[in-house]
Chain A
Amino acid sequence: AQSVTQPDIHITVSEGASLELRCNYSYGATPYLFWYVQSPGQGLQLLLKYFSGDTLVQGIKGFEAEFKRSQSSFNLRKPSVHWSDAAEYFCAVGEVNGGGADGLTFGKGTHLIIQP
């Protein structure tokens, strides 16, 4: 069964500093990988996704993520955080299965706090 681990429950970063959120997955083959962001009281917004090809993917709001097969990781990065980036971030893995209807498997989330 697939699984996702986000090792950091909380991360505090100063505004303007760089950010890296860690995500490790367990899956038998190359999975589909996603990062979502959730602001307080809101639904989940898709930040970026990896399906195949270039292992460095760009997303919205200045975020990027790098897929590293050897490390089973898909870490999220941003060079300079803004106070508005404070939110909960979820990494998720999806089935690589043509036409499959299975849902996504989520990590438990990382809560990002931005210090002024």
Chain B
Amino acid sequence: DAGITQSPRHKVTETGTPVTLRCHQTENHRYMYWYRQDPGHGLRLIHYSYGVKDTDKGEVSDGYSVSRSKTEDFLLTLESATSSQTSVYFCAIRGTPSSYNEQFFGPGTRLTVL
């Protein structure tokens, strides 16, 4: 158990509303990641963090922002949700202090934008 929780686990929202998803880890890992999973696309990296207040963009970052004010929490925000952001969102942490990039995933958040 990598000690990762995500909240909420399910959310339905309206187009144009802001949404924030939370990832919480208990392992004090430096690196945290947000991915989205869509049928036919596998998982794609949205944003990642390499420390408190240190974040960077991934492959599909448009329409998303992130924040990390504490080591244990990594927040993903959709400023104005669109139907194309309907997806399952996974948070991940790097499991070791080495450079092997081995990652462990949270249980996911299913987001539906109507």
Contact = CB atoms under 8 A, between A and B. Distances in A.
Nearest to A100: B99
23 contacts: A34-B102, A36-B105, A42-B108, A43-B90, A43-B105, A43-B108, A44-B90, A45-B105, A46-B103, A46-B104, A49-B100, A94-B100, A95-B101, A97-B99, A101-B50, A101-B94, A103-B35, A103-B45, A103-B103, A104-B45, A105-B45, A107-B42, A109-B42
Contacts of B45: 102-105
A3 B21 CA distance: 28
Q: Secondary structure of the B side of the interface?
A: strand
A43 B43 CA distance: 11
B41 A108 contact: yes
Interface residues of B, number: 28
Interface residues of A, number: 29
A46 B2 CA distance: 11
A106 interface: yes
Contact of B42 (A42, A103, A108): A108
B101 A106 contact: no
A99 B99 contact: yes
Nearest to B45: A103
Interface of A: 4, 32, 34, 36, 42-46, 49, 51, 90, 92, 94-109
Nearest to A31: B101
Interface in B86-114: 90, 92, 94, 99-108
B42 A102 contact: no
Given A101-B50, A101-B56, A46 B42 contact: no
Contact of A108 (B40, B90, B100, B101): B40
